[in-house]
Amino acid sequence: MTARERVLLALNHQEADRIPMHDSPWVSAIERWHNEGLPREVNPAEYFDFELVGFRADTSPQFPIEIVEENEEYIIRTTEYGGLRRDHKNYSSTPEIIEYPCKSRDDWERIKEHLVPSRDRVDWEGSWLAGTAEDDRGEQSVLETGRCERRLGLPGCQQAREAGRFIFYGISFGYDKIQSYVASEQLLIAIATDPDWVRDMYETDATLSIQMYEIMKEGGFQFDGAWPGCDLGYRNGLLFSPQHYDEQLRPTFQRLVDYFHSEGLPVILHSCGCVKELIPRFIEDGLDCLQPLEQKAGMDLVDLKETFGDQIAFMGGIDVRAMAHPDPAVIEEEIKTKIPIAKQGGGYLYHSDHSVPGNVGFDRYCRVLELVGQYGAY
């Protein structure tokens, strides 16, 4: 059975030979694994046999990226969005945006002129491989940065299809994407005081993502699904009220889901934090699968499966803190108490509950996947 067949069965709530397996290790994890036995010349996604492969276009304003300051610990550079960002050189934490390009609606109108579709937004020979749909926010997953991955364009997509991988179109959208332009505090204020501006930012960005999908498809990319990403929660709940979600972001999300479904593509939503309150809305809007189910934010995989598992598929929910625990029995208990329940009747794909951090050793991670294969078999 191919990975594509296995993933499609899971998304359609059918049992395959085993659950699909995929993950998003951070750069710091891959660097550690290289020092602990992972061959440097081997693509980590191929080494671990991850079953989903993603490609995306550049949907930023494409401003030039330049190094402004650099020391032993940090590097500060301008961003493709027109802002200024500070990264740890070892990519051990989420980058910090220290200056945002959009401080007013006038700034947005100026930036908006750059958001037009073009074939130049696709690196046809070396388009970066997307691990999830988080790239535009700067999450440092190895599958997003490409530092430890081969950069795969159209030839890579063709190779992935021949290898039977599930190929997805990855995008960031909505509230999460607009934080690349507008500081979080200002964006939350705008949600309450200037909803027309917020909706315009959401819709403009989504339109470009759809247009770039069409360009990539016409150029030869063949997709099996779409994987949009928008973090909507934090540890204790939603980042803004369900009312504001309904009035401002939900129409854009519905539009994306409806569009990709019209293309015959199932949709996996990446949304970190506690988003349980929105799951009935996701189901109503036709979402096929929700990922990553952060345990530390109260997104318990077993509870979600029992409550919603007949209406939506789930991907993730395996606590990375258990992976890093010094007692190996902890991660086995995590997997054996969750996956046998989550896999029943299909509708579950393995993934960590966020991204695999650098405190998870190579041998331990290999053991994680061994346990997933053991308890995820049908």
HSE toward the beta carbon, residue 165, CA cutoff 13 A: 23
Amino acid 192: pLDDT: 95
- One DSSP character per residue, 280-307 reads HHHHHTT--EEE---GGGT--HHHHHHH
**Residue range 54-77: average pLDDT?**
93
Return the percentage of the chain with pLDDT > 70, whole number: 92
Would you call the peptide bond into 61 cis, given omega within 30 degrees of 0 as the criterion? no
Confidence of residue 152 (pLDDT cuts 50, 70, 90): confident
Q: By the 8 A CB rule, do 74 and 96 touch?
A: no
Amino acid 136: pLDDT: 39
CB under 8 Å to 330, separation ≥6 — which residues?
322
Return the percentage of the chain with pLDDT > 90, whole number: 85
Amino acid 301: pLDDT: 98
- Which tens digit of pLDDT belongs to each residue from 81-115? 999 999 887 766 678 889 999 999 999 999 999 99
Amino acid 140: pLDDT: 39
Amino acid 339: pLDDT: 98
| Model pTM above 0.95 | no
- Which tens digit of pLDDT belongs to each residue from 312-325? 999 999 999 999 99
Confidence of residue 165 (pLDDT cuts 50, 70, 90): very high
Confidence of residue 172 (pLDDT cuts 50, 70, 90): very high
Over 80: is that where the pLDDT of 139 sits? no
Q: Is the dihedral of CA 316, 317, 321, 326 positive or negative?
A: negative
Amino acid 141: pLDDT: 42
Q: Which of 94-98, 149-153, 241-245, 330-334 has the lowest mean pLDDT?
A: 149-153
CB under 8 Å to 306, separation ≥6 — which residues?
341
**Residue range 188-200: average pLDDT?**
97
**Residue range 45-64: average pLDDT?**
95
Local structure of 67: helix, strand or coil: strand
Angle, alpha carbons 86-91-92 (nearest 5°): 110
Over 50: is that where the pLDDT of 138 sits? no
Q: List the alpha helices (DSSP H) in the chain.
A: 3-11, 27-36, 44-47, 105-112, 142-145, 154-162, 174-178, 184-193, 195-218, 242-244, 250-262, 279-284, 301-308, 320-324, 328-342, 362-375
d(CA 315, CA 293): 7
Local structure of 270: helix, strand or coil: strand
Q: What is the mean pLDDT of the chain?
A: 92
Over 80: is that where the pLDDT of 360 sits? yes
**Residue range 31-54: average pLDDT?**
93
